[in-house]
Each structure stands twice: as C-alpha cells, then as structure tokens.
Amino acid sequence: MPDATQRLLLVHAHPDDETIGNGATMAKYVAEGRQVTCVTCTAGEMGEILVPELAHLAADQEDGLGEHRRTEIEDAMAALGVTDHRWLGGFGRFRDSGMKWHEAGHAIAADETDERAFANADLAVAADQLVQIIREVRPQVMATYDQFGGYGHPDHIQAHRVATYAAHLAAVPSYRPELGEAWDIAKIYWNAMSESKMREGLRRLREVIGHRLADDLVLTGRRLDAHEALAAGLVSRVVPAGDQLATARALAEQVCLGGGTAVRATLRMAGAGSDAASYLGPVQTPREVDEVAFSEDLMG
C-alpha cells in the first residue's frame, strides 16, 4: 500500500520545468510511495520551438504549442509515475508570458505580453487557486523556484511569488475558509544549483571540449548541438526529435540536450552557493545524478 501520509507538492511555471528541475526527485518519492502532486501554472505557449516540424505551432502562427505541451506533460508524468498533475486554475487559465534575454545572460520580460499572461496575473487571484490545492492535498513539503526564478524568467518569478504567498495564506484559518481547512506546509524548498557540482561540471567541460569552446558556451550561451554533446561525452544519449516518451525518459534521467543554456544559468547562480542539489546540471553522468539527487531526503 502506498504510504500517502507524506505528501510533496511541486509548483512550476511551464511544462518541462518540472521534469528538468525535479524529475528525479518526483520519480524517487513516487517510487517510495509518497504522494506527489505537480502543479503547472501555464501551458508554455510561448516556449522556444527547436523542432522544425513543430514550428507551425508557434504563438505567431497557429498558437498550438500549449495543446501540444499538454500531451507532452501527460507523457512525462506517466514516465515518472506521477498520477496527480494539475494546471493552476485549470488548463489555459494563465498564459505563458514569454521572455527575452538580457545582455547580462539572464531572462527578462518580453517587450509585449498577452493580457492573460501569468506574470501579469493578480497575485491574490492566482494564489487563491493554489491555496485551494494546498488545503486539499495538505503537503508537508513544497518545492518551487527561488526569488529569481532560477534565471529570471518572469513566469518562474511569478510562480515563486504565487507559491510563497499561497503557502502563507493557506495556513491562516481566517483566510477564505470556503477554500478548505487551513494547512501549514512544514518545509518549502527552492530549486537551486549546486555550486560544488557546477564548478566540477565546468572543470570537466573544459577538460573535454577545451577552454575556448567551454567559455563560449558559458559566456555567450551558445547551445551545444546534441550530437556534439554526445561526442564530447557530456550526455549519455540523444533522443530523436518528436519521440516524446523517449524525451520524457531522458529528461527524467536529467540528461539535458540544451547544455549551453543550463551551463550559463549554472554559472550565474554560482554566487548563490547553494548545495540543495535538487537541480542537477547537464554535465553529470546518470550515476552521479543518482548520488546527488538521492543524498538528501527532502521529506525527512
């Protein structure tokens, strides 16, 4: 019998964030019989499309990326064993706000945002949706982004605000009792990059692909081609574009094909000095991932 006396809630902004950031964590606690509830705040309509065959789904064309990613996250949840996935406020309630890159290497708000954009949502309205979920699920532990959303994405920052605000409100008995009985979440984790792992990763990156290419990836954010990464031994395998289940599985193993982006984000976070290890970068082998991800019991 699954022991659902321990419950973990994750709050993420876009489909795939949950798997890239916490896939191994979710799979671990599902496997141990803990209840895992994953909330996604937007359908990721503005996401960057890397697969040419799917380019027609872009927001400025058919605007069908959200529906497509809906099926992708269903596959990802099935691969990870998560049976309780929810969209904040229901599917399509809050829209992906999009982003653009600041020259300093982090994300900032796009020039124009849709009026339904999550980043523009009334904080109290969005938080109430999560208060209801918190009071129903009654998680002892919640995981979400840090105040900077990892790399500055406006939706990640908003997800952090909504999760934090909702956690406080959910615990107050006098706050909107019609949303459920008050529940106080015992522990809240922010996803963080491990500084020690990041430094080790950079060292290995330079060793394997040379200083110039490594610095190019880190400083300019140039993406490493998936096959280039495979040849350099930075990822364990490359999955064919469009094979969603294989992609979900690969992500569940924390194998990241967009190495350049993750490395850049990792470098930016170096000053944070966190060793929470719930985020694992792209330059580690699955074996190391297992050791780090499972070394600390979040639910303990």
Binding site for Zn ion (CB under 5 A): 13-14, 17
- What's the min distance (Å) between Cβ of 136 and Zn ion? 25
Structure tokens at 127: 């938080």
Nearest residue to Zn ion, scored by beta-carbon proximity? 14
Structure tokens at 236: 């364990």
The total of other beta-carbon atoms located within 10 Å of residue 186's CB is 10
List, in sequence order, every residue forming a beta bridge with 7; answer none if it has no partner: 35
In the bound state with Zn ion, the residue whose beta carbon lies nearer, of 13 and 134, is: 13
Amino acid at 28: K
In the bound state with Zn ion, the residue whose beta carbon lies nearer, of 13 and 293, is: 13
- What's the min distance (Å) between Cβ of 212 and Zn ion? 30
In the bound state with Zn ion, the residue whose beta carbon lies nearer, of 19 and 244, is: 19
* CA proximity to 191, closest of 154, 147, 126, 235: 147
In the bound state with Zn ion, the residue whose beta carbon lies nearer, of 154 and 259, is: 154
Q: How far apart are CA 130 and CA 39, in angstroms?
A: 9
Q: How far apart are CA 127 and CA 68, in angstroms?
A: 26
In the bound state with Zn ion, the residue whose beta carbon lies nearer, of 170 and 252, is: 252
Structure tokens at 202: 């950079």
- What's the min distance (Å) between Cβ of 239 and Zn ion? 20
Output phi, psi for 179, to 5 deg.
-85, 0
The 3-state DSSP class for residue 92 equals: coil
- What's the min distance (Å) between Cβ of 98 and Zn ion? 11
- What's the min distance (Å) between Cβ of 153 and Zn ion? 5
- What's the min distance (Å) between Cβ of 14 and Zn ion? 4
The bridge status of strand 187-190 relative to strand 141-144 is: parallel
* CA proximity to 17, closest of 69, 91, 81, 83: 69
Environment class of 283 (CB within 10 Å of its CB; exposed 0-12, middle 13-18, buried 19+): buried
> Is the dihedral angle over the CA atoms 148, 150, 156, 162 positive or is it negative?
negative
- What's the min distance (Å) between Cβ of 237 and Zn ion? 24
In the bound state with Zn ion, the residue whose beta carbon lies nearer, of 120 and 285, is: 120
In the bound state with Zn ion, the residue whose beta carbon lies nearer, of 13 and 119, is: 13
